């Protein structure tokens, strides 16, 4: 049954260009959105930028620009990068947009009217890079930020506070009633144990800066950047302006977030929703970090990799495939250029690319370039049974937010089809029904794999599809759910002209270039 699938990435700080870590998150959300469109779901895929707050204001100042001029320029870095990586977001939100400012004010006002916001004085250690306060006990050595290891600042402010402490029981009850609300489970446990340790009220406004959304009942204050940012997820779903749209998309939302921002999404955000009188989100999908040399990418460590330069070097599909296939969602993963090329050669050049190439070649030499139809399921080759199993398992993996497993299992069909060709050696046979049967099955397996692979390698999938002589595209909305021409065996009609051309994934030598190719 088609469903509504609303998926979000965090909104990124446009203080610097996107790096491979943020590309990883965005490409993952994109693959999930693409999968759900394939299933026929109605999809809303949202990403964007988080433009307010001290971090952006200071960065703009360093550049001699106003924050508004700075983010007008840098928001474009993100839209450009995502377009270059074939990301198909349906909406791109900037927190400086009027629609968002109004939503933040409406949302905050609702919480205030419901009696969950009060005025008080706040003092504490503040990390500008995190835009977060830390308790003394949380600081790293030398009174520095536990994440950035940079000096923290002592800030004293009169603020409005959100009574987060009053939501501990409701949050725990929500976690108990919805066991799958945070995946993986280890992250759910982390959030629950954090709540059990006791929640402090949080300061949600600032008077020290004016780069933010004015608090509606006291415009000398601006809303704290995290509080402002989290609201983006409801802004884009029409909160407060279009009740019908909002009811359609909320709360069936899946927030893809990095493990470092679990506390904001797993505790603050559901409590904020409860306080504003709306349902908390359906699910948080927490991913780990991409590491370079064992460390998280960051500007201060100069280990950032520019994903657009890297894609220009290795190919967009190659980069996307590597990001999705290499690391299982939730775990940290080490990124290396050598690892990317090794996987490219193994999975894309030697497996999928080679299969497409050899099938087209043999259809050319033995069938006059016209692809024969496959045998009906269960009659002849064992590939139909393999395909059925692969499709079942890949669908399950996508549904549980495991692109890594979905692609691993999909490639089983590629390997087994290649193996079948090696055993039967159709290139040595005389043209006739036997060759037709073997090649028909191989074409059909390739057609199915092309659909399954399309969320990861959309351009190559479309190209292979075209070479098979098929009409439409492998990622036509709803194709995976279709009877005939979808993921069921037997969709390749036969009688189509199969095109042979240059390899879709040419082999690369692993010593060609170094990681420097993608490094700034
Ligand atoms: N603006 C906030 C999010 C607000 S969402 C309402 C923010 N922005 S961020 O630009 O600093 O980071 C955004 C996301 O990028 C986080 O989920 C973080 O985990 C992710 N990543 C940053 N570096 C990363 C890696 N090296 N690897 C994987 N993800 C990484 O936080």
Over residues 114-164, the pLDDT tens digits come to 999 999 988 889 998 888 888 888 999 888 999 888 999 998 888 999 999
Q: Is residue 480 in some structural domain?
A: yes
For residue 441, how far is its CA from the centre of ligand 1 (angstroms)?
44
Average pLDDT of the segment spanning 444-468: 98
State the total domains in the chain.
1
For residue 19, how far is its CA from the centre of ligand 1 (angstroms)?
10
Share of the chain above pLDDT 90, in %: 87
Closest atom of ligand 1 to CA, residue 269: 6
Tokens of 36: 């759900």
Contact 352, 417 (CB under 8 A): no
Instruction: Please give the pLDDT value at position 520.
Output: 34
Instruction: Please give the pLDDT value at position 52.
Output: 97
Nearest CA to ligand 1 atom 29: 21
pLDDT over 90 (residue 472): yes
Instruction: Please give the pLDDT value at position 301.
Output: 65
Choose among 490, 465, 489: nearest CA to 475. Answer: 465
Nearest CA to ligand 1 atom 24: 21
Residues 6+ apart with CB under 8 A from 63: 70
* DSSP at 137: G
pLDDT over 80 (residue 395): yes
* DSSP at 13: P
For residue 258, how far is its CA from the centre of ligand 1 (angstroms)?
6
Mutate to test the pocket of ligand 1, among 258, 273, 287 (most ligand atoms within 8 A of CB): 258
Q: Is residue 364 in some structural domain?
A: yes
Q: Is residue 198 in some structural domain?
A: no
pLDDT over 50 (residue 514): no
Closest atom of ligand 1 to CA, residue 233: 6
Nearest CA to ligand 1 atom 30: 21
For residue 128, how far is its CA from the centre of ligand 1 (angstroms)?
15
Tokens of 460: 């190559």
Average pLDDT of the segment spanning 232-243: 97
For residue 472, how far is its CA from the centre of ligand 1 (angstroms)?
36
Q: Is residue 413 in some structural domain?
A: yes
CATH number for 375: 1.10.730.10
Tokens of 431: 């043209």
Closest atom of ligand 1 to CA, residue 230: 6
Query: Comparing 84-88, 327-331, 418-422, 508-512, which segment has the lowest mean pLDDT?
Result: 508-512
Query: What is the helix (H) or strand (E) element at residue 483, kind and residue range?
Result: none
Average pLDDT of the segment spanning 233-246: 97
Q: Is residue 357 in some structural domain?
A: yes
Instruction: Please give the pLDDT value at position 515.
Output: 43
Q: Could you tell me the pLDDT band of residue 516, with boundaries at 50, 70 and 90?
A: very low
Question: DSSP secondary structure string, 27-93?
Answer: HHHHHHHHHHHHTT-EEEEEEEE---SHHHHHHHHHTTS-HHHHHHHHHHHHHHHHHHTT---SEEE
Calpha distance 118→8 (Å, rounded): 30
For residue 29, how far is its CA from the centre of ligand 1 (angstroms)?
13
pLDDT over 60 (residue 517): no
Residues 6+ apart with CB under 8 A from 475: 34, 37, 38, 451, 454, 455, 458, 461, 462
Closest atom of ligand 1 to CA, residue 24: 28
Peptide bond into 474 cis (omega under 30): no
pLDDT over 70 (residue 394): yes
Compute how many other C-beta atoms are within 10 angstroms of the C-beta atom of residue 495: 10
Calpha distance 491→482 (Å, rounded): 10
| Ligand 1 pocket, CB under 6 A | 10-13, 21-22, 24-25, 50, 229-230, 232, 257-258, 260-261, 289-290, 296-297
The residue behind tokens 């290499």 is 326
Closest atom of ligand 1 to CA, residue 10: 5
Contact 502, 295 (CB under 8 A): no
Q: Could you tell me the pLDDT band of residue 518, with boundaries at 50, 70 and 90?
A: very low
> What pTM, to 2 d.p., does this model score?
0.93
Instruction: Please give the pLDDT value at position 129.
Output: 87
Nearest CA to ligand 1 atom 23: 21
For residue 502, how far is its CA from the centre of ligand 1 (angstroms)?
39
For the chain, the C-alpha Rg in angstroms (whole number) is 26
Average pLDDT, the chain: 94
The residue behind tokens 């929703």 is 273
Query: What is the domain extent for residue 357?
Result: 338-497
Closest atom of ligand 1 to CA, residue 257: 17
Nearest CA to ligand 1 atom 5: 10
């Amino acid at each position: 049954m088609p469903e509504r699938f609303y998926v979000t990435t965090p909104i990124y700080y446009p203080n610097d260009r996107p790096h491979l870590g943020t590309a990883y998150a965005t490409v993952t959300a994109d693959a999930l959105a693409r999968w759900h469109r394939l299933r026929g779901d109605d999809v809303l895929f949202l990403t964007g930028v988080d433009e307010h707050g001290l971090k952006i204001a200071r960065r703009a100042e360093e550049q001699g620009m106003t924050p508004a001029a700075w983010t007008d320029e840098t928001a474009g870095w993100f839209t450009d990068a995502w377009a270059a990586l074939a990301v198909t977001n349906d909406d791109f939100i900037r927190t400086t947009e009027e629609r968002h400012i109004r939503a933040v004010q409406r949302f905050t006002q609702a919480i205030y009217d419901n009696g969950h916001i009060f005025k008080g004085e706040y003092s504490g250690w503040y990390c500008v890079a995190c835009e977060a306060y830390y308790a003394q006990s949380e600081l790293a050595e030398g009174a520095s930020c536990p994440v950035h290891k940079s000096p923290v600042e002592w800030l004293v402010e009169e603020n409005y506070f959100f009574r987060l402490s009053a939501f501990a029981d409701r949050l725990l009850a929500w976690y108990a009633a919805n066991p799958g609300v945070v995946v993986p489970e280890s992250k759910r446990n982390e959030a629950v144990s954090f709540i059990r340790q006791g929640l402090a009220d949080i300061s949600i406004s600032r008077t020290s800066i004016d780069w933010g959304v004015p608090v509606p009942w006291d415009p000398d204050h601006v809303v704290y950047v995290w509080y402002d940012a989290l609201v983006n997820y409801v802004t884009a779903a029409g909160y407060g302006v279009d009740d019908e749209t909002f009811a359609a998309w909320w709360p069936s939302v899946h927030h893809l977030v990095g493990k470092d921002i679990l506390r904001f999404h797993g505790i603050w955000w559901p409590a904020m929703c409860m306080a504003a009188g709306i349902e908390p989100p359906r699910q948080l999908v927490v991913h780990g970090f991409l590491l370079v040399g064992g460390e998280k990418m960051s500007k201060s460590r100069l280990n950032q990799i520019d994903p657009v330069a890297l894609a220009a070097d290795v190919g967009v599909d190659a980069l996307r495939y590597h990001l999705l296939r290499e690391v299982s969602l939730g775990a940290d993963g080490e990124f290396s250029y050598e690892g990317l090329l090794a996987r490219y050669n193994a999975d894309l050049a030697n497996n999928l690319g080679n299969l497409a190439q050899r099938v087209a070649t043999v259809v050319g030499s033995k069938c006059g370039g016209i692809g024969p139809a496959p045998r009906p399921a269960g009659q002849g080759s064992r590939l139909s049974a393999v395909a059925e199993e692969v499709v079942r398992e890949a669908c399950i993996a996508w549904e549980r937010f495991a692109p890594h497993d979905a692609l691993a299992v999909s490639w089983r069909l590629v390997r087994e089809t290649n193996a079948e060709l090696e055993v039967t050696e159709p290139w040595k046979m005389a043209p006739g029904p036997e060759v037709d049967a073997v090649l028909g099955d191989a074409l059909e397996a390739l057609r199915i794999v092309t659909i399954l692979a399309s969320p990861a390698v959309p351009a190559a999938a479309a190209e292979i599809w075209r070479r098979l002589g098929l009409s439409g595209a492998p990622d036509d909305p709803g194709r995976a759910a279709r009877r005939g021409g979808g993921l069921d065996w037997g969709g390749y009609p036969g009688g189509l002209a199969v095109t042979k051309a240059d390899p879709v994934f040419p082999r690369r030598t692993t010593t060609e270039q170094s990681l420097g190719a993608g490094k700034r």
